[in-house]
Structure 1
């Protein structure tokens, strides 16, 4: 089964070949903060103007053509921008699949830091992970597409270890701040790994059930496995 056929089976509501997710014209910020006005390319395609638009375009191409068979040059051409401009947004092809992960990770830290300190750690983690995985309705199909690629494309699976490590570190640092342990101590690291396992298992189920709500599944998963994360103090 081709990647495109498999994706259509998992998320038939996503329009891959139509206009949904099409990039739009606007302004791109170049080196030194200078604004580079982007108009339509010679082919008439509207140029990509944001990290999100570029990532959406790349996701669609990865699904249609296969990740390994899609080149950075092809993505840049489809976006109506140059290769160098594309790399100002994303340092590698692998990073295109992850979208705005660094910004999401920063928000994840903020959410955890803003939670009351008198709630159990397991409850804080449940709330924060659900917030991390809450997207506008128009973004959900792209997130499904992204997670399918990250969990099924060998190159991306390998690259994901770096991203997962960064995500786990946020969890470990929060748990350490609540428990008094060092972030690299066994307890914070074990909780971080457990959180990742819960999320990955939930993502896989979500991808199998096209009508499932990710946040509802995560809520169920964390409530069912709450004992893994300890008592009221942690």
Structure 2
């Protein structure tokens, strides 16, 4: 039964990642700052309340869905060979994390492009990405036998993390055919060899 063209009754169900893909397309078309949860909900044919069950905030549509990657990165770094240099170990770990990723690269690029182009999204850093930062700092500290609060682990870990994020943003904005993990590896090796021509 419909009334004034609006669906009533049980709210429609959706697969979260399918719904995320639809919403990312809408946000990319209209601009992140130009859409609200209300307008997005209306476009996909559900109530705002139902949409909030899937995504508590608008930022969660873009940033969410990658929470498990922190545990995956931690596991990969824990398994890294002791003989492997820090930057190589991080690059290899991230490559393995991306190999487990089931997200379509087109959706991933759309997500990363939105983050790169939106000052609001870049400011509203994901707790997942902060988790990556802490994980990398802890790894650097462990390798150096220093506390995680020591100067070099904090600064080196933060630099590595920043290089990873910027490489992802770069990949999101380009039409580079490579896997994002390859761009991250190149960026990290460039970071470690920045004084070499």
Task: Give the unaligned 5+ runs of structure 2.
Answer: 1-5
Task: Tell me which stretches of 4 or more aligned residues in structure 1 moved more than 6 Å.
Answer: none
| Root-mean-square deviation over aligned CA pairs | 2.8
State the 1:42 CA deviation.
Answer: 4.4
Q: Does 1:96 align with 2:61?
A: yes
Q: Secondary structure at the match of 1:168?
A: helix
Q: Which residue of 2 is the match for residue 216 of structure 1?
A: 182
Q: Is the 8 A contact 2:21 2:107 kept in 1?
A: yes
Task: Give the unaligned 5+ runs of structure 1.
Answer: 1-40, 229-234
Closer/same/farther in 2, CA of residues 88 and 42 from structure 1, 3 Å limit: closer
Q: Which residue of 2 is the match for residue 18 of structure 1?
A: none
State the 1:141 CA deviation.
Answer: 1.1
State the 1:163 CA deviation.
Answer: 5.0
Q: Is the 8 A contact 1:55 1:99 kept in 2?
A: no
Q: 2:34 aligns with which of 56, 69, 77?
A: 69
Closer/same/farther in 2, CA of residues 179 and 92 from structure 1, 3 Å limit: same
Q: 2:135 aligns with which of 170, 184, 188?
A: 170
Q: Which structure features the higher share of helix residues? A: 2
TM-score by length of 2: 0.78
Bigger mean CA offset, 78-87 vs 175-184? 78-87
2:173 and 2:116 mapped to 1: Cα distance? 12
Q: Is the 8 A contact 1:57 1:75 kept in 2?
A: no
Bigger mean CA offset, 187-196 vs 142-151? 187-196
Q: Secondary structure at the match of 2:124?
A: helix
TM-score by length of 1: 0.67
